[in-house]
């Protein structure tokens, strides 16, 4: 059991020299199957971005290769970052988790002051030609801080004898860590980001083994708060109204949903063929971004959509398997949290494009065009690969 002084020192001083927390030559190799699945998802996503974006890029930028040129650069950079991240040990990530969390809070606050406005929202920080979306970084650092917290304070957070410890250390403090990030993201009017962050945080708390009773109470309170926000905010009320009857608002918000569902239906079982989508020609909005799954369904049909979901299912299975073979509690919860985050985004993206839930901006990992989200995704993949080196599996 660590003392208060030892816990405080973890914030500022690593337990051993940093050079000893980097995997050296001769160290265990990362999981080969996980590398294969990541590569297949990245390759599949890049091909579909080119197919989905060509017509849109030609119309808007007079350059059909506008999106794919940038995406290839981001993917190449992402693989480099993944490799570097895979060379760092879980102990190093644990050491700097509190610092990463505090830096993320700072970036989210900076966005509110000097952030760049795009599509009517102020969610980015511009550094020369590069734009950073701190809310994407927050998804990763939230998993890191909660994993660090439950590893450091697990003796109190998971105390089954003293209810006060379960309530305070196992529920209230973790919810404060989640709420601090969610509040800053909410001030950016980024409701989908708040929902994803909230879901990630709650599931990480659940996976840590915290008491379900108090967790249920807090989830209920959070759910009521989000519902009130949705029902009493004009922006979200309108989205719910359009979601219920998109055909009544074809030119006032329902267009994207209607065209996306038409693309999904027109693909049938076999699809129209790669590159043969008709609705990507200025019908489906943002065909290379949040709505790319609809183009996959139109061009590759049910089989293509099934292939995407099977790849993600295999990826999640491998991630959870690696977590089950880890002895380090921090690394185990970190891997589970990252896999859970991917699962949440995939589920919500498909739910949005099929009109199962109200339309809101949620990207599809590996497939949606983007810079910040893709770089953070590959950094997370590097963390998974680093953890796989420590897992008790055959390499």
What is this structure's pTM? 0.90
- Residue 78 and residue 373: Cα distance in Å, rounded? 10
- All residue ranges of the chain with pLDDT < 70 are 1-20, 24-26, 118-121, 211, 229-235, 394-395
Instruction: List the domain range (segments joined by +) for residue 327.
Output: 28-253+288-296+314-390
Q: Does the residue 275 lie in any domain? A: no
Q: Does the residue 43 lie in any domain? A: yes
pLDDT of residue 1: 46
State the CB neighbour count (10 A cutoff) for residue 143.
26
Q: Does the residue 45 lie in any domain? A: yes
Sign, CA dihedral 219-326-339-333, equals positive
Number of domains into which the chain is organized: 1
pLDDT of residue 379: 96
Q: Does the residue 212 lie in any domain? A: yes
End-to-end C-alpha distance for the chain, whole angstroms:
33
Closest CA to 35 of 292, 241, 314, 264: 314
- Residue 323 and residue 382: Cα distance in Å, rounded? 14
Q: Does the residue 85 lie in any domain? A: yes
Q: Does the residue 4 lie in any domain? A: no
CA distances to 55, 185, 241, 249 from 245, in Å: 29, 28, 7, 7
Q: Does the residue 335 lie in any domain? A: yes
Q: Does the residue 1 lie in any domain? A: no
pLDDT of residue 232: 67
Tokens of 256: 């994207």
């Amino acid at each position: 059991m660590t003392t208060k002084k030892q816990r405080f020192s973890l914030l500022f001083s690593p337990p051993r020299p940093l050079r000893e927390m980097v995997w050296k030559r001769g160290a265990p190799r990362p999981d080969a199957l996980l590398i294969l699945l990541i590569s297949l998802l990245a390759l599949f996503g890049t091909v579909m971005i080119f197919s989905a974006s060509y017509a849109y890029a030609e119309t808007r930028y007079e350059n059909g290769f506008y999106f794919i040129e940038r995406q290839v650069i981001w993917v190449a950079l992402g693989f480099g970052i993944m490799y570097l991240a895979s060379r760092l040990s879980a102990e190093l990530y644990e050491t700097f988790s509190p610092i990463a969390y505090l830096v993320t809070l700072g970036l989210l606050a900076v966005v509110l002051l000097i952030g760049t406005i795009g599509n009517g929202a102020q969610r980015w920080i511009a550094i020369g030609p590069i734009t950073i979306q701190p809310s994407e970084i927050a998804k990763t650092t939230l998993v890191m801080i909660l994993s660090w917290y439950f590893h450091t304070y697990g003796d109190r957070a998971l105390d089954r004898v003293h209810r006060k410890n379960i309530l305070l250390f196992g529920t209230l403090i973790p919810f404060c860590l989640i709420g601090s990030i969610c509040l800053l993201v909410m001030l950016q009017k980024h409701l989908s980001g708040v929902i994803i962050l909230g879901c990630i945080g709650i599931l990480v708390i659940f996976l840590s083994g915290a008491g379900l009773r108090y967790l249920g109470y807090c989830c209920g309170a959070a759910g009521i708060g989000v519902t009130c926000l949705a029902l009493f905010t004009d922006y979200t009320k309108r989205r719910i109204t359009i979601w219920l009857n998109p055909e009544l608002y074809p030119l006032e918000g329902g267009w994207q949903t209607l065209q996306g569902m038409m693309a999904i239906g027109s693909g049938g079982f076999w699809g129209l063929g790669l590159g043969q989508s008709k609705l990507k020609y200025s019908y489906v909005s943002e065909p290379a971004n949040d709505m790319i799954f609809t183009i996959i369904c139109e061009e590759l049909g049910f089989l293509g959509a099934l292939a995407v979901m099977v790849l993600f299912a295999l990826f999640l299975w491998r991630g959870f398997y690696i977590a089950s073979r880890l002895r380090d509690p921090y690394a185990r919860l970190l891997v589970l949290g990252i896999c859970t985050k991917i699962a949440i985004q995939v589920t919500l993206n498909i739910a949005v494009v099929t009109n199962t839930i109200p339309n809101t901006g949620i990207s599809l990992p590996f497939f949606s065009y983007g810079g910040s989200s893709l770089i953070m995704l590959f950094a997370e993949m590097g963390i998974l690969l680093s953890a796989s080196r420590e897992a008790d599996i055959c390499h």
